[in-house]
A and B are shown apart, each in its own frame.
Chain A
Amino acid sequence: MSSVYRKELRSYFCNMQGAVFAGFLLLITGIMSSLYNFKGLYPSFESSLAETGFIFLLIVPVLTMKILAEERHQRTDQLLYSLPLKVSAVVLGKYLALLTVFLVPVAIMSFYPLILSMYGEVSLVSAYSTIVGFVLMGGALLAIGMFISSVTESQVIAAVLTFGSMLAIYLMSAISNLIPATAQGTLGAFSVCCVLAGLIVWVMTKDVWVGATAGIVLEAITVFCYFNFTESFAGLFAKVLDKLSVFDRFYLFATGMFDLSAVVYYLSVIVFCLFLCVQSVEKKRYS
């Protein structure tokens, strides 16, 4: 694992990619911080960090697009498979390198609250807990991006897919407001999800019948729930989306709350995506 980690890290910092990423992140947080904290004379670094959240839409695709797609494209994945390394070690090594690249600008950012505190009263605890939230959210989004990079061979497709996913995640709570809070509206929304799930299964297994069966079974469960628990069905979809919203949980940190369930949530997203990533890489050997 350490060998892959070292290699990835070297590649990020020899290729300017890491430096450009760090510089960009620092630039945006710097702008936000100077606007809110220095120009606006507002002592809370967490609110400027919360405003910086959208940055992940741009930086996650840039950072993760090549991490596994490029290996497949250059056929260097054959080397990784033939070396005495576990796939999980390869994936973990790469992810840790990704996280390290992300942590470098965050470490620099950690000085901002201290600088601010030189000029007035700053709640360091809430500032640093927001930075922790920022790191956790970044880690979760990077894990999602890495998984997407593992399903395709092309960096461009990986980047576009990752950007699309990041956008969907970013707008998730906005989307949830669009869905009527009635039981019928929820049923409709869940049905669309069932069809999508069926399509994804179809694409992944290349078998129409397996996909159709998966879709129909999921739809049947939804309809069953709809008729039996109609009352609690109302507004359920919006609730689920709200619960799954990656960004909303981060904004909670910015309001000064250290939400342990958010920590658990982010960690589970990371573990789940890395698990999917390992499976997707393993699957390549079987096709």
Chain B
Amino acid sequence: MIEVKDLVKSYGGHKAVRGISFTVESGKIYGFLGPNGAGKSTTMNIICGTLASTSGSVTINGHDIYAEPIEAKKCIGYLPEIPPLYTDMTPAEYLDFVGRAKGLRGAELAEQIEEVMELTDIANVRSRLIKNLSKGYKQRVGIAQAMLGDPEIIILDEPTVGLDPIQIIEIRELIRSLGKKHTVILSSHILTEISEVCDHVIIISHGKIVANDKLSDLEEKYTSDGVLELQLKCSAKEMETLAESLAKLAEDCETFVEKDGTCRIMLKYLRANDIRSAVYSQVCKSGITMLAMIPHEKTLEDIFLSLTSDDAVADETVDEKNDVADAASADEDTDSNKDDGDDYKPLFG
């Protein structure tokens, strides 16, 4: 449906996008994930034809965006990062303009405007000036604009930025419903959004794709190991003996003594091999009181952090696959960092 090949965009000396290639199949919701400045918006702008790439090609339904821009753009509805609204118009007038520009006329135009207004829930503000609308409504007018003309592909660049939590939930709901009829590409740096809404995730960092997979596959691929945390009520010495016996079960074992006198053991294990019951019986045997056993699984957040960390992309001369491998090995570092702190506060989401 969309085929992006070796896209490169440089601004003067700075390369914002360095050779991105991917394909988009119909009927799915794609998530474009990456930290700020990773090249998400640039890539989307190039796909939609609002920016020219330095090299590389974009083909939409067989139409090259440069050779046949009109045909290609007819297949796309685009909401840029800053909703492109004429603030001195009302939503009705604005949608009328966009609809006409997309080639709709007469009854069809009126019908579609009603339909998208209904879907985005802006019918009640149709005759107020856009400049007087709240950020949430402006965003919705932007989405309504992208939906007009019933394009096969809808591309939304950070559609939930600056909205309140209720609006965010509503917009996500809307995007999910869009996904039933259209192919949706959604960019965000908010992980929960991507994991809630998208089927497929493309992670971009420093202008390169570092992961491109189904959400479920991605989780499986990068969360093969987990960490089991044991909180114990015992002396340090007792803990050491216990840890020795437990180390045989796990891949890796670390011990900590807490300030309040309790002890903590972190066991790293492969998820394919569940060690919980074995650990439990070992602890029981030793006669130590176990206060808690907490399995820590890697979330999309950890995957994201490890893939987009500077270590992962530092080795830029290596090709993409190696980059991913590097990132996987860098996981361990982030993991141990995470374990050092008691309360792991998510950085994103």
Please give the residue numbers on chain A whose beta carbons come within 8 Å of chain B beta carbons, in ascending order. Answer: 2-4, 6-7, 10-11, 14-15, 74-86, 285-287
Contact between chains at A285 and B52 (CB < 8 Å): yes
Please give the residue numbers on chain B whose beta carbons come within 8 Å of chain A beta carbons, in ascending order. Answer: 11, 45, 48-52, 69-71, 73-74, 76, 78, 80, 82, 84-89, 93, 97-98, 100-103, 145
Given known A-B contacts A11-B89, A76-B84, A79-B145, A84 and B70 have beta carbons under 8 A apart:
yes
A19 to chain B, nearest CB (A): 14
B188 to chain A, nearest CB (A): 18
**Which residues on the B side are within 8 Å of A77 (C-beta)?**
50, 84
**Which residues on the B side are within 8 Å of A86 (C-beta)?**
69-70
Given known A-B contacts A3-B100, A84-B101, A84-B102, A75 and B74 have beta carbons under 8 A apart:
no
A203 to chain B, nearest CB (A): 15
**Which residues on the A side are within 8 Å of B87 (C-beta)?**
74
Contact between chains at A84 and B50 (CB < 8 Å): no
How distant is the Cα of A81 from the Cα of B48 in the complex, in angstroms?
A: 8
Contact between chains at A85 and B88 (CB < 8 Å): no
**Which residues on the B side are within 8 Å of A14 (C-beta)?**
88-89
Contact between chains at A79 and B74 (CB < 8 Å): no
Given known A-B contacts A81-B49, A285-B51, A3 and B82 have beta carbons under 8 A apart:
no
The residue on A at minimum CB distance from B142 is A79
Contact between chains at B70 and A3 (CB < 8 Å): no
Contact between chains at B86 and A85 (CB < 8 Å): no
Question: Contact check: which of A4, A10, A76 meets B93 at CB < 8 Å?
Answer: A10
Given known A-B contacts A79-B145, A82-B73, A84-B103, A11 and B84 have beta carbons under 8 A apart:
no
The residue on A at minimum CB distance from B78 is A82
Contact between chains at A7 and B50 (CB < 8 Å): no
**Which residues on the B side are within 8 Å of A287 (C-beta)?**
11
Other A-B pairs, 18, CB within 8 Å; known A81-B49, A84-B70: A3-B100, A10-B89, A11-B88, A11-B89, A14-B89, A74-B85, A75-B84, A76-B84, A76-B85, A78-B50, A78-B78, A81-B50, A82-B48, A82-B50, A84-B69, A84-B103, A85-B101, A285-B52
Contact between chains at B84 and A74 (CB < 8 Å): yes
The residue on A at minimum CB distance from B48 is A82
Contact between chains at A82 and B100 (CB < 8 Å): no
**Which residues on the A side are within 8 Å of B73 (C-beta)?**
82-84
**Which residues on the A side are within 8 Å of B84 (C-beta)?**
74-79
B129 to chain A, nearest CB (A): 10
User: Which residue of B70, B85, B97, B103 has the most chain A CB atoms within 10 A of its CB atom?
Assistant: B97
**Which residues on the A side are within 8 Å of B69 (C-beta)?**
84, 86
The residue on B at minimum CB distance from A11 is B88
**Which residues on the B side are within 8 Å of A83 (C-beta)?**
73, 98, 101-102
